[in-house]
Structure 1
Amino acid sequence: MKHCRQRALCAAIHSIFAAAATALVAVPAQAQEGAAPAAPAEASSAATQADALGLNTVVVTGVSGGKSKMRSSISVTDIDPQQIADFGPRSEAEVLHLIPGIRAESSAGPGGNSNITVRGLPIASGGSKYVQLQEDGLPVVEFGDMNFANNDYWLRYDANIARIETVRGGSASTFASHAPGAIINFLSKTGEEDGGSVAFSHGLNYKENRTDLEYGGHLSPDLRFHIGGFYRDGEGPRNSSYNTERGYQVKGNITRTFNGGQGYFRAYFKVLDDRAPTYTSMPARADIHGNTLSGFSSIPGFDILRDSQNSIYNTSALAVGPVGTATRVADLTQGISVNAKSVGFEFHNQFNGFTVDDKFRYTSQSGAFQTQFWGLETLAGTLAGFGAGSSAVYVNGPKAGQQVTQANLATGFISNGAAIDVRTPDIGHYANDLSVGRSFKLDGATLGAKAGYYHSNQDIVEQWSISGRLMEVGRDGALIDILGAGGAALTSMGLTGYNDQWGACCARNYDAHYTTDAPYLGLTYARGPLDIDASVRRDSVQASGSYAGPTRLAGGADVDGDGAVTGAERNVYVIDSAHPRPINYKVGYNSYSLGANYQFGKDVSAFARASRGGRAIADRLLFSSNIDAVTGGLSAGADAAAVARVRQLELGLKYRARRDWGSFGLFSTLYHSTVSEFDYDQTRTVGPRLNQTGYRSNGLELESVLRIGGFALNANATYTDLKITSDLVGQAAGTSTVGNTPHGSPRWLYAVSPRYDFGAGSAGLSIIGQSRVWSDDANTLQVKGRYLVNSFVNYHVTPDITLSLNVNNLLDDIAFSAGVDQGSLAQVRALGAAIGAQGVVSSRPEAGRTVSLAVRYSF
């Protein structure tokens, strides 16, 4: 701990470790864990039938005290490993399709970079702004929408997970920082059950191999452990002509119980070293009916379901440093690479009526985002940007040296997109959450109080090197150079310049650090069938550090050192390291949540809740007028931009029933939410990159389960009526979008999963769908609704060996989850005209049909 940045934090950590160690040493050797013996299989099955939605499960995420779902006034969903295995997700974001209320645009692929939100809260800037991903009760990163470091980069689902618990709305505002929308908590196995498993999976029609191994159990009556992980290798669900997936994860924990099973101390670790592809927008034909796009299909030369933007002819690019010369070669085959090492502990004990909990984790993590984005253009459109008389020539590939013509382009299109080389040497995070609680009996009622303090630090250290690059759109597309009217090269190896992409934004350095301190208090009251809880939280965020943007080198630079300034070397931007801008401000916000639940009988209850929460804006506030360039403080009036505030109202009903023929359960929640946020996305191609916007959402969540003998049906649906309520830029420019539906937001999301168990096997489907979405906030272009079908078959060869066949996208449908990139119908028609189609769009689609076979041995 000698490298701790803050002495007070180091002292606190040492004190906590010392106290925990003393407690462990003082525990009598004969102390026994207080867990009840495992129920017989028949009894367990009967309990599952009677409690179809798991309403007896005690909620451990985002709550003041341990209560069952039936008695809690929040919307909670659990998904278990079997549900996830049957669904066969190809990325962590795909797992979230099983949770009602969550909208996960999962088409980015296994590397991450998915957009995740809940209950109509906007995905204005990408990432996961209002939804926090946790591992065992602490966030993997503090802010879910950091540029090139979203929270789904740093988490991997594997066989170590016991269940995923999700709290939507409600007390997520007060029992977590910066997570007013939802907390999605990946809870690890901790060795309660002795045994383990090993599984091997293989892609039958795509290149991917994966091994999962996990094992745990008791070393003594009061000491248990669990350890496991995975290794994978291949291309992933799309073709890349080289391995884009390779990595592993190892996680482990050891738990000592004491105080007659009322206390425990758990230490754990994680090592994650993984690289995987992330996918960009890709072209497809489209049928046009009025202003609605549907009937998508592949264009000649590119399979929208199986190909990717990766190419063996575009694997690297020169990276230019602050002095204008090449400092290294960026590897564009890496996709998203992450390296995380974490250690932590949990302490829990009950004594003299008090309950003490402390969770701590320190994570050292780094990574990179290195890939090619596509921007769809015709040859004529590309040449028009370089002046009269310009021409194009293939740099490499089978047609190297030939002139580019509309006829010899593989698909009829050229990409003028971003070659992205973003390094993130430090996305380190540590957090400690300490709480003390006590309950009291008073006149037949139970009163409870829980006070806590959360402290965390998030580092955001990044260097951006993002250049424009021209290449042929198609499978393994070649690089393309542009020649001027006199034959002089205007580009170099397809590069239009160095760090010149997205408005010449993209020579950047971030050295930002955000410390969050949050005291919180929760109160509970329970009497008979009535439960009431109230909680408050005060988040204070201290931002420090510096950041630097680009400066253009007058006259260009001799990047390759050959003595001449040619082609892309005339257009060079470097980080202006001589003039860094400071970061030095503090912002705070208050949150509250008040809820009541009434249980009308053992099988039905209802609740109501009102909440207000917030989300401090981190790196996306930089490079805007909200930060004073001289002092690093907030500019006058920028408080509203520095924190996004969310208000929510909820009404919920939980019902379950058991009949002679089976059982069923229903969990429904009506919700109303409003949010005002500052929105900044440098990569946006449609609409303003900076804006202050407001939204209003009304909706309904439905979660249901039906079981009849060997048949089971899980059905979830979410209805959201979402509207824009303020649009600072649009209202000022006379192009207001107030009253419109935000782009990419469907009214309906649904997931229907039937399953049938037959003797030694089981089979089932999952149907995941959504209604139509608008492609722009102006509501001029929309994409028809879609659904995808996944299927599985499991067969128990022996009681310990299971064979599984999973098929994702069974019908091989083309599905876009968030509209298309084009700003207008005219652009769609113009691109279509280039290849004789009604329309051509560019968007990020879900992968096509993938079939995998797995064998699992339990021991």
Structure 2
Amino acid sequence: MNSPLNRRQGGPKLTPIAALLASTAFTLALAPAAHAQAQAAAAAAPAASAPEAAAAASFGSAGLERIVVTATSQAKSKMRSSVSVTDIDQEQVQNLGARSEAEVLLLIPGIRTEPTAGPGGNSNISVRGLPISSGGSKYVQLQEDGLPTVQFGDMNFGNNDYWIRFDNNVESIQTLRGGSSSVFASQAPGAVINYISKTGKNKGGSIGLSQGLNFRETRFDGDYGNRLAPDLYFHVGGYYRQGEGARKSTPNSLLGYQIKGNITKEFNGGKGYFRVNFKALNEHAPTTPQTFVRATQSGNKISGFSKAAGYDGTRDSQYSIYNSTLPGIDPLTRQLTNTSLVDGITVDTQALGFEFRNELSNGFTVDNKFRLTKASGAFQAQFWDVKTLSNMLSGFGAGATARFYNGPRTGQAATATTLQTGLVSQGAAINVTLPDMGILVNDFSVAKQFKTGFGSVDLRGGFYLSRQNVVQRWSISERIMEVGRNGAVLDVFDASGAALTTAGLTGYNNQWGGCCARDVDASFTTQAPYLGLNFVAGQLDIDAGVRRESFNASGSYASGSSRPFDVDGNGTITGAERNVYLINQGTPRGLVDYTIHYNNYSLGANYRLNNDLSVFVRTSKGNRAIADRLLFSANIDAVTGQLTSGGKDAALAPVKQSELGLRYRGNTSWGNYGLSVTYFKSTTNEFDYDQTRQDNPNLPNYQGPKLNVLGFKADGIELETAGSVGNLGLNVNVVYSKETITKNLGDPSQVGKTSGGVPKLRYTISPTYSLGDLTLGATIRGQGKVYADNNNVTTIDGHYVVSAFVTYDFGGGLIGSLKVNNLLDKVYPTGGGGFVGGSTSIFGAGMETGRTINASVRYQF
């Protein structure tokens, strides 16, 4: 690994690259680089009519006048676009007090995510009924200034939300759902979420301090932008934070920084620009998997959620001072290891890129965006699989007992009364290193407008290239520990007193049916020519696009097999040494070497009935190529690296979508308002690999079929509104969707049912009110009832969470704020779940985080 940040080094240190990029001298030396992405796009867009421009100017609260620049053929206002787009500005995110990228995305209608994973990422992000079958963000791409941070959102232990952070460098977040994302983005048929950076074209900056009042987190933010000359400007900023995050973990389990910046040089009378941008992100942050609370079941309904005795499932975590390191053996080199289990998700990223745009004298416009990212990291954390002590011991045979391996009761017998909560965990202790997750990406296009007797035609043709590396080493073992605050590690002994475990380990690299001694060295290349056409005739806008992608997978991979192995070298095989998964170095590695080709398309039309009312319709088909999740499956011939019979179908997930939408805005004597309504329909079929699946409960240790073929369909309505009356502003977003499983080869009985944890109704209500220098506001985020699992028998009631804020402008640029998340401190699961093994009162699930209070002060200049 490339020296990821380590909390035991006394704080983060700038790498040589980060230090260079952060220096003012380097920033000035870069000079050449221009408009913010949105500003450049706005300049390129056809001018609105005078009435439309006036109406747009008077209706800023709805945002319908904003220019769509994300994954489209031509930049133009939302009122003229046949795509569903939402913008979130810096102030909205600041007011929400979002503590992770998942919480930021909760503001976007149509996007579904569970904000339980923590500040380091590892959230599951989906849109419009497209599935989250095995984790990650399979159909949703996160971008910075129009280019992906990583190419695939669902890479094993490399989800796209690991590699991006919201801070003061972001001007706004623009999200395009469905539609033209199939043509003007790669591997993202569901949605593109684009973080658009400030450029410094408008002078200003800020410094700020944020402090958790009932949780341990301190954060410093700063940014500044200015003009160095009339045609030369820059912006630079970043943050540093330390603490634990919103849940109790261990000191400085959250620690790191980000530095971002750009410098822009305009030329050709402002018609062209060259921009250089950079980013350094170095951080480790806790990640929290499922936790547990008390609950009751009456008939087919689970309710009555409350905190369990001795453990607060809304604030506590699985982190423990007695389980802070993991003894192990590298499956490939056989070196003994002792790795952290409290660093969580570590990322170490340095990115350097440029943007170029110029309008030529012959009417052609040339655009190019390039970024090279060096990225490494690790995933090192304990996951819980909560169960009763008796349930756990039953798996080790008659007469098995448990003792405390460490902690205040070292050597004592573990019983239901000596355990903190009476519960234990037999879960995954994860040590996955990511030496190389870097990406190279370039998007080049040429555009020209043609005038005809019927209207104007804009053509845009381009070529996209990306190369995503996936280099990983997995060493994931099963470990037994006490469930509770700072739980101790437990060892198990048979009836004769012989040790069945070692330091709580039931084996080495043996988790989830022995899936987890792995070595991957692969890269995935996407090449795609694309063509877009936009036709404008009066009030009618028609746009169409087609994309031809070639996807190449290359590299090698290896997995381990079980054997007895003398790990400590003392000449005897005991405990966990009886079940050690190691990679046979003399066995040929599996190869991956195949290429697939596929087509995407999108066609849409928008008609403006007047300057304040427009309707649109669109149909699209996109594909998502499966990357590293296809490895280790029968779909690849491990000898040749080619796809096997039927492997081509498994290697591609097609997504079809249809949309019908309406946008309306009004300006009256009492205020202004606007709304967007979209009806959508989507279908997909996908190959799915999930190493944690155990479809056959009669087989021990997760030996069920981990491979599956699934199909899904969904239809629903997205409603997005905004308005203001005097000093009162109100945003209301509502999504209602019916999502259905259409195929499940692993369990055909689930066909026709809804995935567990998926609500039909989701909503956010965000009022704000200003009283002079004082602003009050809240966000009410809610959802309807869900099924506990895919069997659709047991239900969990819907719930809502209220968050609130107050800000005060002291004058002179000084602003103070107080933000409270989960104001009412409600206890709710965010999705589905179930009672833990051996219990009818302890419910395991991802839980809403309890009340957190944060105070901040910011000086703007």
| Equivalent residue number for residue 714 of structure 1 | 731
CA distance in 2, matches of 1:298, 1:325: 43
| Equivalent residue number for residue 843 of structure 2 | 841
Aligned-partner SS, 2:311: coil
In the alignment, is the contact (CA less than 8 A) between 2:289 and 2:846 conserved in 1? yes
| Equivalent residue number for residue 17 of structure 2 | none
| Equivalent residue number for residue 578 of structure 1 | 586
Q: Does 1:116 align with 2:133?
A: no
| Equivalent residue number for residue 762 of structure 1 | 775
In the alignment, is the contact (CA less than 8 A) between 2:478 and 2:506 conserved in 1? yes
| Equivalent residue number for residue 9 of structure 2 | none
User: 1:630 offset after TM fit, Å?
Assistant: 1.6
| Equivalent residue number for residue 202 of structure 2 | 193
Q: Does 1:796 align with 2:809?
A: yes
Q: Does 1:562 align with 2:570?
A: yes
In the alignment, is the contact (CA less than 8 A) between 1:325 and 1:558 conserved in 2? no
Q: Residue 453 of structure 1 aligns to which amino acid in structure 2?
A: F
| Equivalent residue number for residue 855 of structure 1 | 857
| Equivalent residue number for residue 149 of structure 1 | 158
CA gap of 1:662–1:433, structure 2 versus 1, over 3 A, is same
| Equivalent residue number for residue 78 of structure 2 | 69
CA distance in 2, matches of 1:485, 1:815: 41
Q: Matches of residues 224-623 of structure 1 in structure 2 within 5 Å? A: 224-322=233-331, 325-351=334-360, 352-553=362-563, 556-579=564-587, 580-623=589-632
Q: Residue 154 of structure 2 aligns to which amino acid in structure 1?
A: D
User: 1:571 offset after TM fit, Å?
Assistant: 1.1
Q: Does 1:174 align with 2:174?
A: no
Deviates more, 1:720-729 or 1:418-427: 720-729
Q: Matches of residues 692-711 of structure 1 in structure 2 within 5 Å? A: 692-711=709-728
User: 1:48 offset after TM fit, Å?
Assistant: 5.9
| Equivalent residue number for residue 164 of structure 1 | 173
Aligned-partner SS, 2:184: coil
In the alignment, is the contact (CA less than 8 A) between 1:242 and 1:312 conserved in 2? no
In the alignment, is the contact (CA less than 8 A) between 1:324 and 1:559 conserved in 2? no
Q: Residue 100 of structure 1 aligns to which amino acid in structure 2?
A: P
User: 1:796 offset after TM fit, Å?
Assistant: 0.5
User: 1:685 offset after TM fit, Å?
Assistant: 5.0
Deviates more, 1:676-685 or 1:712-721: 676-685
Percent same amino acid at aligned positions?
53
Q: Residue 492 of structure 1 aligns to which amino acid in structure 2?
A: T
CA distance in 1, matches of 2:406, 2:836: 29
| Equivalent residue number for residue 724 of structure 1 | 741
CA distance in 2, matches of 1:344, 1:607: 36
User: 1:828 offset after TM fit, Å?
Assistant: 5.5
| Equivalent residue number for residue 6 of structure 1 | none
User: 1:775 offset after TM fit, Å?
Assistant: 2.8
| Equivalent residue number for residue 761 of structure 2 | 748
In the alignment, is the contact (CA less than 8 A) between 1:48 and 1:54 conserved in 2? no
User: 1:289 offset after TM fit, Å?
Assistant: 2.5
CA distance in 2, matches of 1:428, 1:501: 27
CA distance in 2, matches of 1:219, 1:685: 60
Q: Residue 349 of structure 2 aligns to which amino acid in structure 1?
A: A
CA gap of 1:45–1:313, structure 2 versus 1, over 3 A, is farther
User: 1:640 offset after TM fit, Å?
Assistant: 1.3
In the alignment, is the contact (CA less than 8 A) between 1:73 and 1:597 conserved in 2? yes
CA distances 1:134-175 after superposition (whole Å, capped 9, x unpaired) = 000000000000000000000000000000000001000100
In the alignment, is the contact (CA less than 8 A) between 1:591 and 1:614 conserved in 2? yes
User: 1:262 offset after TM fit, Å?
Assistant: 0.8
In the alignment, is the contact (CA less than 8 A) between 2:249 and 2:316 conserved in 1? yes
CA gap of 1:26–1:399, structure 2 versus 1, over 3 A, is closer
CA distance in 1, matches of 2:54, 2:570: 74
Q: Residue 273 of structure 2 aligns to which amino acid in structure 1?
A: Y
Deviates more, 1:319-328 or 1:511-520: 319-328
CA distance in 1, matches of 2:842, 2:497: 32
CA distances 1:720-775 after superposition (whole Å, capped 9, x unpaired) = 111111112223xxxx2111011221101111100001100101110111112223
Q: Residue 115 of structure 2 aligns to which amino acid in structure 1?
A: S
User: 1:323 offset after TM fit, Å?
Assistant: 6.6
User: 1:437 offset after TM fit, Å?
Assistant: 0.4
Segments of structure 2 that go 5 or more residues without pairing to the other structure are 1-29, 35-39, 44-52, 697-704
Segments of structure 1 that go 5 or more residues without pairing to the other structure are 1-22, 28-32, 37-43, 833-838
Candidates 808, 814, 821, aligned match of 1:808: 821
CA distance in 1, matches of 2:695, 2:98: 30
| Equivalent residue number for residue 219 of structure 1 | 228
User: 1:50 offset after TM fit, Å?
Assistant: 2.1
Q: Residue 690 of structure 1 aligns to which amino acid in structure 2?
A: L
CA distance in 2, matches of 1:324, 1:509: 11
Aligned-partner SS, 2:832: coil
In the alignment, is the contact (CA less than 8 A) between 2:182 and 2:189 conserved in 1? yes
Q: Residue 708 of structure 1 aligns to which amino acid in structure 2?
A: V
| Equivalent residue number for residue 20 of structure 1 | none
Q: Residue 458 of structure 2 aligns to which amino acid in structure 1?
A: G
| Equivalent residue number for residue 107 of structure 1 | 116
CA distance in 2, matches of 1:709, 1:578: 75
Q: Residue 689 of structure 1 aligns to which amino acid in structure 2?
A: K
Q: Residue 848 of structure 1 aligns to which amino acid in structure 2?
A: G
CA distance in 2, matches of 1:796, 1:51: 22
Q: Does 1:639 align with 2:648?
A: yes
| Equivalent residue number for residue 12 of structure 2 | none
CA distance in 2, matches of 1:577, 1:551: 11
Candidates 191, 216, 232, aligned match of 1:207: 216
CA distance in 2, matches of 1:138, 1:679: 26
User: 1:561 offset after TM fit, Å?
Assistant: 2.6
